[in-house]
Structure 1
Amino acid sequence: MFPTYKAVKLLKVIAVEHGHTEPWVVLCEGENKLEAFVVKIFTEEHLLEKPRVHGEFCGTWMAGEFDLLTPEVAWIEMDQDFILSLSPELEQKLDFHDDRLKFGSKVLPQFQHFPTGFNNSQFVKYLPVDRLFAFDNFIRNADRGSHKPNLLLTPEEDAFLIDHEYALEIDSSTISDIQNFILPGRFSSTHIAYPVLVSGSANQKQHYFEEFEIYLRSLNLKVLGRVLGEVGNQGYQAELGMIMDYFKFIQSNPTIFVNLLKRQIL
């Protein structure tokens, strides 16, 4: 489903103040041209904590299904020629025994990171905030708060969602929590869209999440299964059965999920 690009040259390492990893900007070759990609370099410790690569690809594919924008993504191959071109310090950040393809996200030609101090009218100009809030809760992504919005804004007034490595925070109690209308604050009150939604009028709140529910009902979970399966075929591990059971439950019970979201912003 996703193309594979070959890493050619490291351009820079991104120092992220609030990030969980330090991504690399890498010039990559694919489809007869060179393009820059942001590549995630996860350690085995990172991958044992969360299914980060599954989250990245799942978040990207799912965003498109809810009419939200993300940069193009691809698998990035780092062969021995590329590794030998790195400085000794950076070589140490790569596990030579880990020859799995890496997740890469294409660098946008022009963008700025979502700025602090955006007022509500400016925010809603870029994207539907209720759908963004519902989307992140649906994919169980607690990593779009005011300290790290993970939104890139373009001169065309588009907003691109990035960094879904913390998505898929799903365990054996997730479904029962939702049935009992339990939603931790890391998914709700700390979300970047929360202040906008809370400040909406009673009439606005009545219609929040209607579009999201339409997209949810039409979501093809068989394709999601193929996305997760492709990541698994590259050697990355995740509890795929539990993840798919969660998404099937939400799609089969959209009213429960939407009511849970509405309770958060009353």
Structure 2
Amino acid sequence: MQELQLVSVGDVLIGGTTKPVNIIALNENGTPCKYILKLFTKKQILQGISVAKEIISSELAKQFNLICPDYGVINFEHSEINNLYGKERLYSLDEGYKFCSKFIGQSVIFTPLVTKSFLNDYDYANIFAFDFFVYNIDRGGVRKKPNLLINDSDLILIDHELTFSFIDSDKKVDYESYLRNYPYQHHILIKYLKSSRQKKHLFDEFLEMLKVLNLSSLNSTFDGLERLQIPHYEREKFINYFMWAKQNVTIFERYLKGMIQ
């Protein structure tokens, strides 16, 4: 988890509930790069640990060979963005570390109109299965936001603040009950998977990667969250779910295959 240093602030991007901003920041090597800065409110951080969920999901995506933009976290005085927002918006913003995604050039928002022939059913399947695993309700969803970029060769995943909605419960969680109620009908990729002619083995790659998910490597992620005092729920709540998932791959297989019939 790299800490960035602000160089300059650009414009507010059109769209997006977090009203993201283009910035230039120095990465951990001291190289200036363009990032997309997401500005979560105090309420979003308190109720949804949005920055932590972005980070955890980005790290998990790497283990499933999925592509997310390189990311970093940054903190600075809000006086740097006084000219971008009104007083009410500025007051609502969380004052801790903020999540930044490295800007991906030559990419566009995913829509059926820009789907490339190089993509295959397994590309879609792994992303869909990953979203099911992290309980992402925002790749499609009721707001129909794709939260996917596409370039000449890849699909790129963005925006994961609306994941793991069940992790904040203080009670013992019935993980399978949440999976059973995952709103897959609204996922941006469901229609592609339903039309696939190779459903039998579509999720094999994802399921194999789930079996060997490296939980030890996630400890450094949680260590970083604690070091920077980025709000997050106890790591045990996440790790317990991940351990359960590794031990119950057949449950994931059953639901994933059932959703695309």
- Which TM class, normalised by the smaller chain length? 0.7 to 0.9
Asked if structure 2 preserves the Cα contact closer than 8 Å seen for 1:51 and 1:168, the reply is no
* Amino acid corresponding to residue 75 of structure 1 in structure 2: V
Q: Distance in 2 between the 1:183 and 1:157 partners?
A: 33
Which of these residues, 204, 222, 228, is aligned with residue 228 of structure 1? 222
Asked if structure 1 preserves the Cα contact closer than 8 Å seen for 2:45 and 2:94, the reply is no
Please list every run of 5 or more consecutive structure 2 residues that lacks an aligned counterpart in the other structure.
Answer: none
* Greater mean alpha carbon deviation, residues 103-112 or residues 165-174: 165-174
Asked if structure 2 preserves the Cα contact closer than 8 Å seen for 1:23 and 1:40, the reply is yes
Asked if structure 1 preserves the Cα contact closer than 8 Å seen for 2:175 and 2:241, the reply is no
Alpha-carbon shift at residue 166 of structure 1 (Å): 0.9
| TM-score, normalization by structure 1 | 0.85
* Secondary structure of the corresponding residue to residue 61 of structure 1: helix
Q: Are 2:133 and 1:138 equivalent residues in the alignment?
A: yes
* Amino acid corresponding to residue 128 of structure 2 in structure 1: F
Q: What does residue 206 of structure 1 align with?
A: 200
Asked if structure 2 preserves the Cα contact closer than 8 Å seen for 1:225 and 1:244, the reply is no
* Greater mean alpha carbon deviation, residues 128-137 or residues 172-181: 172-181
| TM-score, normalization by structure 2 | 0.86
The Cα offsets for residues 145-203 of structure 1, whole Å up to 9 and x where unpaired, read as 1721111111x321111111111222458952516962232xx11111211111223xx
Alpha-carbon shift at residue 210 of structure 1 (Å): 0.4
* Secondary structure of the corresponding residue to residue 185 of structure 2: coil
Which of these residues, 99, 103, 111, is aligned with residue 99 of structure 2? 103
Q: What does residue 10 of structure 1 align with?
A: 9
Please list every run of 5 or more consecutive structure 1 residues that lacks an aligned counterpart in the other structure.
Answer: none
Asked if structure 2 preserves the Cα contact closer than 8 Å seen for 1:125 and 1:157, the reply is no
Q: Distance in 2 between the 1:180 and 1:27 partners?
A: 40
Q: 1:157 to 1:236 in 2, by over 3 A?
A: same
* Secondary structure of the corresponding residue to residue 242 of structure 1: helix
Alpha-carbon shift at residue 117 of structure 1 (Å): 4.0
Q: 1:39 to 1:177 in 2, by over 3 A?
A: same
The Cα offsets for residues 231-263 of structure 1, whole Å up to 9 and x where unpaired, read as 233223333332221111111111111111111
The equivalences for 1:232-247 within 5 A come to 232-240=226-234, 241-247=236-242
* Secondary structure of the corresponding residue to residue 26 of structure 2: strand
Asked if structure 1 preserves the Cα contact closer than 8 Å seen for 2:40 and 2:94, the reply is no
The equivalences for 1:121-200 within 5 A come to 122=117, 124-125=119-120, 128-145=123-140, 147-154=144-151, 156-171=152-167, 172=169, 176-178=174-176, 182-185=180-183, 188-200=184-196
Alpha-carbon shift at residue 15 of structure 1 (Å): 2.1
Alpha-carbon shift at residue 213 of structure 1 (Å): 1.0
Q: Distance in 2 between the 1:166 and 1:179 partners?
A: 18
Q: What does residue 257 of structure 2 align with?
A: 262
Q: 1:136 to 1:196 in 2, by over 3 A?
A: same
Alpha-carbon shift at residue 105 of structure 1 (Å): 0.6
Q: What is the count of residue pairs matched by the alignment?
A: 254
The equivalences for 1:16-35 within 5 A come to 16=15, 19-30=16-27, 31-35=29-33
Q: Distance in 2 between the 1:190 and 1:125 partners?
A: 20
Identity in percent? 28
* Amino acid corresponding to residue 232 of structure 1 in structure 2: E
* Secondary structure of the corresponding residue to residue 81 of structure 2: coil
* Secondary structure of the corresponding residue to residue 226 of structure 2: helix
Q: 1:34 to 1:175 in 2, by over 3 A?
A: same
Q: Distance in 2 between the 1:190 and 1:14 partners?
A: 25
Q: What does residue 61 of structure 1 align with?
A: 59
Aligned-residue RMSD, C-alpha: 2.6
